[in-house]
Amino acid sequence: MSTILIVEDNATARELLVELLRDARYPVIEAEDGAEALRLAHTQHPDLIISDVLMPEMNGYELVRHLRTDPETALIEVIFHSAVFNEPEAHDLARDCGVTHVISKPTEPKKILNTVAEVLRAKGTEPTSPLPASFDHKHQQLLTGKLMQQIDALDRSEERFRMLAEHATDIVFRYHLHPTRAWEYVNPAATIILGYEPREYYADPKLLYKIVHPDSRGELESWIDARCASGDTTEIRWIHKDGRTVWTEIRSTPLRDVVGNLVAVEGIARDITERKTAEAKLEALNKELLRSNKELEDFAYIASHDLREPLRGINSFSSFLVQDYGDKLGEDGCSKLRTVMRLTKRMEDFIDVLLTYSRVGRLELAFEETDLGAVLNEVIDSHGLLLQETGAVVRIERPLPVVRCDPVRIREVFGNLIANAIKYNNGPEKRVEIGYELQEERSAPSAQDKLQPPGGDEGRSDSIPYVFYIRDNGIGIRAKHFEAIFKIFRRLHGREEFGGGTGAGLTITKKIIERHGGRIWLESTYGKGATFYFTLQGDEHAGKDEPADSHRRGQSRGL
Ligand code: ADP
């Protein structure tokens, strides 16, 4: 029986062939590549070699060439078993080196066995022709042709990349870091953005360091030396050739050699000067706003503080006048003086409110974990008399949790909101309901809910996940007044109605909430009561605690 040598670098493909032929009772030997096959051909003298064409070390053609040039192996029949036999040149080359049979991968086992049988039957009847002189040349041409095709494909994709890059409005670059620093590519957008032409970059690998703004030098160095390799994005300021400052945002991809060493970075630098300038302007404006707010608050504080003295003087002297010179002034004079005293008293009240308001803005808040349930109880207790007089019922619908806030200030918030809830109600059964909802239980606040501080802080998330509410069944507020009532001295009623007031309670309440990073808003149907909501912002631990006084869930207090 004829011995067959199978040459195939792919172990699975080799095994399949070996199994098939052994099954057909051929003695089979195997080799992983051309070089090993050549050795076996000399030692084992197979009758037939079935060889793959593309293999490392020595390919199928080279194997046949070696076989044919040595008289000892020249007559061994060869069948090519290859996936790359569609090209006519490959067929020609096979024929030239005396390989008449080619089996394409994959092929049915039966066809393989038939071809093997046919070749072995004909063996010896047709002497294998010697290699023509043109073989080496053709072989080389085929390999070179393949290489050129691949280079062409690469060139075409590089060409496409260049076309894209040449027309991009962002800077596109490839910068070599090792072994030496050099620009491999910079697109024309670099000229528009930074003023220097690509050739100026190519001529000076260090140009980067010369045109970087002094304030960005450190960032550039640390980015190139350490962070660009991880694809980190950076913002760098440059000095344009014409002297102006340009900001770019650079996104990069590291390029590594086969063993993983960083050799280059390629990336995109976008001109973000406009955005940066706008940001800087906004920041300056914000600073200015903060500064002038602070100045106003200081002014209000000092002015109201200083105004109190002379007012107190007017009041005292007016009362001396009434007491000591009452008879001389007569009833009419005394009555006029009493009006002066009433008016100065009102002025004092206003000044007190102004002082309180400006103090709230100036105060350092003392944040601490606060049991809001306990705070609420204190507030309700302190309103005992009012509750008694009005017959109002305060119901805690959901015991309040422990949160991080300034307890003194939040007590004022509850105090103001509860007092208003009782005050602005002329119905026979006054009810106040207090509780909270989880933020996630609520749908997004509607436009009218967004009563936010000037400067806009949309998108801010309140880290305390509760929305507290104080609901009453009082007179309610028209939607058109929802914003106005938070303005200082703004009242919707006459001075004598609803027990009077200065119109500053809600302004101070809002200020306290804002200083806690929260929001306040209301919902109301005129004539049917109002609900005031507020949120708070604590730190990351805030709001995770269980309600501290859960045993009081649903408790009613009628005082
Ligand atoms: P004050 O109560 O001293 O007038 P506030 O700033 O507390 O000042 O309130 C401003 C105005 O908002 C009040 O004059 C009143 O008209 C209205 N208001 C406040 N709370 C309520 C409420 N719960 N129901 C109806 N109206 C209210």
Question: Do 252 and 265 touch, CB atoms closer than 8 A?
Answer: yes
pLDDT at 226: 80
User: Which residue owns the Cα nearest ligand 1 atom 20?
Assistant: 420
pLDDT at 93: 79
Q: What are phi and psi of 21, to 5 degrees?
A: -75, -35
| Nearest atom (ligand 1) to Cα of 474 | 24
Q: State the number of CA atoms in the 13 A half-sphere of 537 facing the CB.
A: 13
Q: How far is the CA of 16 from the centre of ligand 1 (A)?
A: 91
3-state secondary structure of 5: strand
User: Which residue owns the Cα nearest ligand 1 atom 14?
Assistant: 491
Q: How far is the CA of 421 from the centre of ligand 1 (A)?
A: 8
pLDDT at 443: 55
The C-alpha atoms of residue 509 and residue 451 are separated, in whole angstroms, by 13
The residue assigned the tokens 């967004």 is 450
The token pair at 452 is: 């936010």
Helix, strand, coil percent content, the chain, rounded in steps of 5:
50, 20, 30
Beta strands 368-371 and 245-256 are unpaired
The C-alpha atoms of residue 182 and residue 192 are separated, in whole angstroms, by 21
User: From the CB of residue 58, how many other CB atoms can be counted at a distance below 10 Å?
Assistant: 17
The C-alpha atoms of residue 7 and residue 81 are separated, in whole angstroms, by 9
User: Which residue owns the Cα nearest ligand 1 atom 8?
Assistant: 503
The C-alpha atoms of residue 16 and residue 532 are separated, in whole angstroms, by 81
Question: Do 174 and 185 touch, CB atoms closer than 8 A?
Answer: yes
Q: How far is the CA of 493 from the centre of ligand 1 (A)?
A: 8
Which of 412, 491, 502 gets mutated to test ligand 1 (max ligand atoms within 8 A of its CB)? 491
| Nearest atom (ligand 1) to Cα of 490 | 10
DSSP 383: T
3-state secondary structure of 257: coil
Q: How far is the CA of 555 from the centre of ligand 1 (A)?
A: 27
The C-alpha atoms of residue 332 and residue 330 are separated, in whole angstroms, by 6
Q: What is the pLDDT along the chain (559 residues), one digit of tens a residue?
A: 789 999 998 888 888 889 889 988 999 999 998 999 999 999 999 999 999 988 777 888 889 989 988 889 988 999 998 876 666 777 777 888 788 888 887 788 888 999 999 998 887 655 455 556 666 666 666 767 777 777 777 778 888 888 889 999 999 999 988 878 889 899 999 999 999 999 999 999 889 999 999 999 999 998 888 888 787 889 999 999 999 999 999 999 888 887 788 888 899 999 999 999 999 999 999 998 888 888 888 888 888 888 888 898 999 999 999 999 989 989 999 999 999 999 998 888 888 888 888 888 878 889 999 999 999 999 999 999 999 999 999 999 999 999 999 999 999 999 999 999 999 999 999 999 999 998 876 654 544 444 443 334 444 556 778 999 999 999 999 999 999 999 887 778 776 677 767 788 999 999 999 999 899 999 999 999 999 999 998 643 333 333 333 333 333 333 3
User: Which residue owns the Cα nearest ligand 1 atom 7?
Assistant: 505
CA distances from 213 to 194, 244, 265, 282, 404 (A): 12, 10, 21, 22, 44
CA distances from 56 to 7, 10, 33, 368 (A): 12, 11, 7, 74
User: Which residue owns the Cα nearest ligand 1 atom 27?
Assistant: 424
CB contact burial 353-362 (16+ within 10 A = b; e otherwise): bbbbbbebbe
Q: What are phi and psi of 460, to 5 degrees?
A: -70, 140
Q: How far is the CA of 420 from the centre of ligand 1 (A)?
A: 6
3-state secondary structure of 432: strand
User: From the CB of residue 70, how many other CB atoms can be counted at a distance below 10 Å?
Assistant: 12
| Nearest atom (ligand 1) to Cα of 475 | 25
The C-alpha atoms of residue 505 and residue 485 are separated, in whole angstroms, by 9
CA distances from 145 to 85, 93, 118, 371, 477 (A): 15, 13, 33, 83, 87
Which of 105, 104, 116 is CA-nearest to residue 13? Answer: 105
3-state secondary structure of 9: coil
Which of 22, 50, 55, 59 is CA-nearest to residue 115? Answer: 50
Question: Do 56 and 37 touch, CB atoms closer than 8 A?
Answer: no
Q: Give residue ranges with CB within 6 A of ligand 1.
A: 416, 420-421, 424, 472, 474-475, 477, 485, 491-493, 501-507, 530
